[in-house]
Structures are given as C-alpha cells and as structure tokens.
Chains A and B, each alone.
Chain A
Amino acid sequence: DIVMTQTPLSSPVTLGQPASISCRSSQSLVHSDGSTYLSWLQQRPGQPPRLLIYKISNRFSGVPDRFSGNGAGTDFTLKISRVEAEDVGVYYCMQATQLPHTFGQGTKLEIK
C-alpha cells in the first residue's frame, strides 16, 4: 500500500494568516495515464469529509480560491492564503493512483 505522511499533525494559525500542510507519499503518485490522483479533503467538526482539491491543484466546485494545491511525484502541499474561522477542522490528503486508496493521518487546523 502507498503510505501517505502529512506534516504537521497540528497547525495553530492566526486568523487572516496563511497556512500550509504537506503530504508525502511512499511512492510516486503519477498514474500510467499521466495524471496524479492526489486530492485534499476538509473535515469540519462533526461533519463528513468534503473534497477541496483533486489532481494536485484543481479546486472542486464551490471551494474558495484561498485554497490551493501544488506538488508533483511524491511531495504535495495544500495552502490556505488567509485562514478564516470556518477553515477550522482536519485536513486529509488522499491518493487514488493505486489500489487500495489511502489517506494521510490528518492535520488539525486550529485558530491561535
């Protein structure tokens, strides 16, 4: 299985300041079709996960443009340009390049 490792596991951030979460995979996530199936999900307290970013950098429908993703191969980053109160929750990276699909451990974003 591909192991997904996120850092940090906890991120206290000041409102209005940027935040960044890293995700590293144990092997390349480049699929044989040339795409990289790395996505980011947000889970607010008491809510199901919600897709934010797919294929490294594509924002899903309705996702604010303060969220962005980048990276390649085995190293990926989710960035929030200016954190808002509603961004509090746990963020997961997930790979769908190889079965079984696997998730990172999650990074808890909290307000200082």
Chain B
Amino acid sequence: QVQLQESGPGLVKPSQTLSLTCTVSGGSISGGDYYWSWIRQPPGKGLEWIGHIYYSGSTYYNPSLESRVAISIDTSKNQFSLKLSSVTAADTAVYYCARSPRKRSGYSYASELDYWGQGTLVTVSS
C-alpha cells in the first residue's frame, strides 16, 4: 500500500521560504497513473488545496497562492516538493501531501485524493 510522508522545517521566519518534501513509498511516483498534491490546514480550520504536479513536471497551482508557490518532482528519489515564498503568520498550518488518480478523456486530469500523508505543522514566526 502506498504511503506518503512529509518532511521539512517546522519553523520558518516571516518573509522567508517554506520548503517541504513528500516521500512516497509502496509505489512509483513516475508511473503516470497519479497526480501528486499539496493541501494545507491552518490550526482549527478547514482544508485548502494548494496545487499538484504530474510526473512529467506539469503543475497547477491554486490561483490564491500561485504567485508564491512552486511544486517540483524528483522521480529518482520518489519525492515531490513544495516551496512557498514570502511567508507570513497566515501560512502557519499543517501541510499534507496526497495522491490523486489520473483520469483521461482527451486530456489528463486529477480526481479524488485517495492517500494522504500524516501532515507536518509549519509555524511562521520570528
């Protein structure tokens, strides 16, 4: 069974860049059957979808964060990563990585989020 695990610093200073990595085990990230997503959840609040990446490197970002987000993939390490720049206290959240099965109907797109990592809390504070 596939497993996802987030890793990265738990504390980031305001105006700096948040960097997280998701390591996938139990399946290949380069198989082409899935999209790989990042989602976040501020303490005590709901879920926000940040964006996703396909093994080819194709990405889509939530327009609300697009100017500050970059998602990349390293198929040799079976990992994908998130960078969020110019962070503020509003970016304090638990960050999750997750997997979406790929669908095709003339073009390729993602569907539901079927497997999630445990999440990692990132606090933005000086």
Contacts and interface: CB of A to CB of B under 8 A. Distances in A.
Interface of A: 1, 31-33, 35, 37, 39, 41, 48-51, 54-55, 60, 92, 94, 96, 99-106
B117 interface: yes
Interface of B: 37, 46-49, 51, 60-64, 96, 100, 103, 105, 109-119
A105 B100 CA distance: 21
Contacts of A50: 116
Contacts of B116: 48-51
Contact of B49 (A39, A48, A101): A101
17 contacts: A39-B113, A41-B113, A48-B119, A49-B96, A49-B113, A51-B113, A51-B116, A54-B112, A54-B114, A94-B113, A96-B113, A99-B109, A100-B51, A100-B60, A100-B62, A101-B110, A103-B48
A103 B46 contact: yes
B118 to A, nearest CB: 6
A100 B49 contact: yes
Interface of A is mostly: loop
B105 A51 contact: no
Contacts of A31: 105
B35 to A, nearest CB: 10
Determine which residue in B37, B46, B100, B117 has the highest number of CB atoms from chain A within 10 A of its CB, and name it. B46
A3 B105 CA distance: 25
Given A37-B111, A49-B47, A101-B37, 9 more contacts: A32-B105, A37-B112, A48-B117, A51-B114, A54-B111, A55-B112, A96-B100, A96-B111, A100-B63
A48 B6 CA distance: 12
A60 B114 contact: yes
A39 B105 contact: no
A1 B60 CA distance: 14
A40 to B, nearest CB: 9
A92 B46 contact: yes
